[in-house]
Each structure stands twice: as structure tokens, then as C-alpha cells.
């Protein structure tokens, strides 16, 4: 049924559901320009209803066994297939223990009913500013594994998104999985986001520390989402933590550097000033959590 208004209807397209990866890549090789890849469909169908996306074909990848693979072997890291739902990812016991920031992000991403459909790679490929995937994945130095008929290539998550709703994916390519290397023993991480209820994030920050009790070898990483058009890593603020000073002093110094170097933007969700305030409050909170808790 349709009331004629965009919200209620999905524009016309042809539905294609390949059973093997090869079949999917062959399809994309010829018709990639006119195709949108669908995993959970949560984002895609919503955008199509609003007439923000129009395409000739929708390629449903849920029927491809390789893309449903989720593996977490000790020492080898985490490999998350493109069709693995966020609920399946959350059910992984290792996630909270080893990849805490990623767990925090997924646990607070939309709501449980939507997480039964949506996927981490779907989130990344949307590449809109308020998605939750990039900050934690940048902290863990994760890579997107991309397949095409020509073979496979790997792109770091920090280089994967190149603009608003823009990624490095070519029309003939399919993002097949995300690989998250296993963090060094003793790594502590945390992710915080600010949003109104289950709506879009207005500012989010992830932080990670390795060797937190050894100032000489201590490394801190800070990554932000939703505050600018693309995810941001605060390299200059990270440098502060190479000094051997009390943690409280370091956090104070880092906040000053973040204030001066991390740029925020104004959009319908909030002003640049408001975002800067959220950035400072949240940065202080995550740093305290990973360095002092």
C-alpha cells in the first residue's frame, strides 16, 4: 500500500540475491554503477524512502556464506563479515573484554531491534558523519577487506572514508569484512557518545591506552566521530601522553591541545561551539576512564 508520499514507499528497483561471492562480484563488475549493496538494509531502505538514493539494482549479500563469517581467534584478531549483524557481534564474549571501545559503540548503536538487522560494514559504508563505527575501529587500527574480480585489497578504516557519504569503494568492489587486529595485552579502551535517546550522535569520542603504567612506553589514541564531516584522530593530543608526568596533569594538558586542534562544525544537530564543549567533557571522561579507573 502507498499513500503516495516518499516516506511510505520504496522507489522501484530490481532485487538481486547472489548465493556466492563470485556471483556477487561478477554482477558488480558489469552493473556496479547502477547497484546499491544491501546487508541489513536498515540504512539503505530508509534513505531510499526519503528519495536520497535511487538505483536500478539492489544487491542483497545476506545469502553469501563467506560474508556471514565472524571469527575471533586469540592472537589473530577479529574478522567481521559484511553480513554479520550487530546483535551477532555483541554476542561475542571476547568483544567486551578485548575490544571494549568497539563493544561500547555497538552496544549503544540504535536499538536492539534494529541491531538484529544492521551490520558494522553497512554503518561504515554509509560514511555519514554521525555513524559510530569509525572512532573505535580507528583506535584498533582496523582494516576493511575489499574484494573485486581483480582480487583483494585492504584499506585502513581511517583511509576508507574520504568524504560525507563517500568511501574509497569502486563500483566493481564489495567491502567483504572488517579485520580488527588483536590489541596488545593490557590495552584499555572506552567509547562515549552524546545523542538524544537513540537518535543521531552529536559528538562521540573513543580512547585507547597501551602500557598505561609505564610512562616510557605508554601510547594513547584518541578518535572522534560526529563532530566534523569525517572522523578525526587527535594526533597532537596523543603526543602529550609520551611525557612522564602525573596522569591528572597530562589529561589537563591534552584537553588544552584538543581544544586548540580538534575542529568541530555546525549543522542541524548542533553548533560548532556546542560540539566543542561536548568534545572537552567527553574527552576528559574517557581519558579518566582508561587511565585512572
Partner 1 sequence: MVLTHKVSYTVNGTKRTATVEDNELLLDVLRDRMGVKSVKAACWRGECGLCTALVNNKPVKTCLVLAVDADGSDIVTAEGLAGEELLSPLQKSFVDHGALQCGFCTPAFVVTAHHLLETNPDATDEEIKEYLSGCICRCGTYYQIVEAVKDARKYYKK
Binding site for partner 1 (CB under 8 A): 1, 7-15, 17, 40-42, 45-46, 49-50, 58, 60, 62, 87, 110-114, 116-117, 198
- Could you tell me the end-to-end alpha-carbon distance of the chain, in angstroms, rounded to an integer? 54
Q: How far is the CB of 128 from partner 1 (least distance, A)?
A: 15
Of 113 and 243, CB closest to partner 1: 113
Q: Which is nearer to partner 1, 112 or 181 (CB)?
A: 112
If the CB atoms of residues 13 and 274 are measured against partner 1, the closer one turns out to be 13
Tell me the C-alpha distance between 118 and 71, whole Å: 18
Q: Pick between residue 91 and residue 184 the one whose CB is nearest to partner 1.
A: 91
d(CA 11, CA 31) in angstroms, rounded, equals 18
Shortest distance, position 219 Cβ to partner 1, whole Å: 33
Which residue is listed with cell 522501484?
12
Nearest-angstrom CA–CA distance, 163 and 276: 21
Beta-strand ranges (E) seen in 116-173 are: 143-148, 151-156, 161-163, 166-167
CB nearer partner 1, residue 59 or residue 180: 59
Supply the minimum distance, in Å, between the C-beta of residue 13 and partner 1.
6
Q: How far is the CB of 10 from partner 1 (least distance, A)?
A: 4
Considering the complex, what minimum distance in angstroms separates the CB of residue 275 from partner 1? 23
What distances in angstroms separate CA 240 from CA 11, 36, 147, 251, 255, one per listed residue?
A: 51, 43, 39, 8, 10
Amino acid at each position: 500500500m502507498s499513500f503516495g508520499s516518499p516516506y511510505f514507499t520504496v522507489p522501484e528497483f530490481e532485487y538481486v540475491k547472489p548465493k556466492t561471492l563470485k556471483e556477487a562480484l561478477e554482477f558488480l563488475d558489469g552493473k556496479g554503477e547502477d547497484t546499491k549493496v544491501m546487508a541489513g538494509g536498515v540504512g539503505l531502505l530508509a534513505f531510499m524512502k526519503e528519495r536520497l538514493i535511487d538505483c536500478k539494482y539492489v544487491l542483497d549479500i545476506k545469502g553469501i556464506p563467506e560474508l556471514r563469517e565472524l571469527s575471533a581467534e586469540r592472537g589473530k584478531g577479529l574478522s567481521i563479515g559484511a553480513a554479520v549483524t550487530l546483535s551477532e557481534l555483541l554476542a561475542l564474549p571476547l568483544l567486551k573484554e578485548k575490544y571494549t571501545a568497539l563493544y561500547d559503540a555497538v552496544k549503544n548503536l540504535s536499538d536492539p531491534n534494529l541491531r538484529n538487522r544492521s551490520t558494522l560494514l553497512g554503518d561504515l559504508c554509509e560514511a555519514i558523519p554521525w555513524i559510530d563505527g569509525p572512532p573505535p575501529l580507528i583506535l584498533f587500527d582496523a582494516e576493511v577487506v575489499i574484494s573485486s574480480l581483480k582480487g583483494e585489497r585492504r584499506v585502513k578504516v581511517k583511509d576508507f572514508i574520504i568524504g560525507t557519504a563517500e568511501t574509497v569503494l569502486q563500483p566493481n568492489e564489495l567491502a567483504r569484512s572488517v579485520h580488527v587486529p588483536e590489541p596488545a595485552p593490557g590495552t584499555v579502551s572506552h567509547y562515549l557518545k552524546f545523542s538524544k535517546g537513540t537518535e543521531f550522535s552529536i559528538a562521540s569520542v573513543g580512547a585507547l591506552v597501551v602500557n598505561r603504567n609505564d610512562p616510557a612506553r605508554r601510547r594513547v589514541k584518541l578518535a572522534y566521530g560526529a563532530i566534523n564531516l569525517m572522523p578525526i584522530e587527535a594526533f597532537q593530543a596523543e603526543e602529550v601522553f609520551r611525557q612522564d608526568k602525573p596522569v591528572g596533569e597530562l589529561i589537563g594538558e591534552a584537553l588544552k591541545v584538543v581544544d586548540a586542534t580538534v575542529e568541530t562544525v555546525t549543522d542541524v544537530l548542533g553548533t560548532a561551539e556546542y560540539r566543542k564543549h561536548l568534545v572537552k567533557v567527553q574527552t576528559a571522561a574517557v581519558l579518566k576512564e582508561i587511565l585512572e579507573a
